[in-house]
Amino acid sequence: MTISQQAFVLTVSRILQEQPRPMNPPLFIFKRCTLAAAHNAHILRSFNFDLNKVIRAQHPSQISYGSEFRPTATLKKLLSDHPLWSKLKDVLDNGASFSLEDIEDSARKLDLTFHMKRGNHKSLSKCSTFIEPVITEDVERGFVLPLPVEAIQFLSSTSLAPLGCHKQSTINERGDIIPKYRLTHSVKVELKKIPYQKSCTVLFYSGSSIT
């Protein structure tokens, strides 16, 4: 083993010996019910519906940027010489951003109204029995924030991506091929009067049923 390899192994060993940082309980409630949705809207309202401020106010918690990784101060000991370390550190500390074109606000609001009225993709009605547990699990694991539908009008630069469902196949523990359903976001439908522009979409669930 070379000196550099030994140093690498020693660094990893020391990192593994460090105690994980304690996490604060989130201000949000991750349950699939109207009471949780109302509570979460109240929390957002207290921060003027600024999601970034809410996330930072709860740091460190399960919803913090990069919470699934070790703190960047720890990872720096291992990755500081990597050419992309500065970019990775920024993503872990401040969240990922994408170089996309902004949608003109008036067009975005028209598109938002259109999708609110249109609802989810028709494919969802064919597999709602299978998707319901998936949505519930995503909420309970903190991947999805339950909010009242009305709250979306107060969140700036927000777009809707209708839910859809795609049927696939997988194998069970015996190697048998069995059907599998994957939750998708339908972003193909758009207002024909609005020129296509790239945007980030944020998806929220409300209540205890698919709407």
Q: Are 119 and 125 in contact (CB under 8 A)?
A: no
Structure tokens at 200: 């980030």
**How much is the pLDDT for 3?**
57
Q: Which residues contact 199 (CB under 8 A, 6 or more apart)?
A: 100, 101, 102, 103, 108, 159
Range name among 116-120, 143-147, 205-209 with the lowest pLDDT average? 205-209
Q: What is the pTM of this model?
A: 0.77
Q: Which residues contact 159 (CB under 8 A, 6 or more apart)?
A: 103, 108, 111, 112, 115, 199, 200, 201, 202
Range name among 15-19, 122-126, 167-171 with the lowest pLDDT average? 122-126
Domains of the chain, by residue range, sit at 3-94, 105-185
**3-state SS, residue 171:** strand
Phi-psi region of 26 (alpha: psi -120 to 50; beta: other; left: phi over 0): beta
d(CA 24, CA 140): 17
d(CA 108, CA 180): 34
**3-state SS, residue 211:** coil
For residue 163, list its beta bridge partners: 185
Residues 8-19 have a mean pLDDT of 91
**How much is the pLDDT for 211?**
34
d(CA 16, CA 140): 28
pLDDT in tens, 37-82: 999 999 999 999 998 999 999 999 999 999 999 999 999 999 999 9
Q: Are 145 and 28 in contact (CB under 8 A)?
A: yes
pLDDT in tens, 177-196: 988 888 887 766 554 444 43
d(CA 46, CA 49): 7
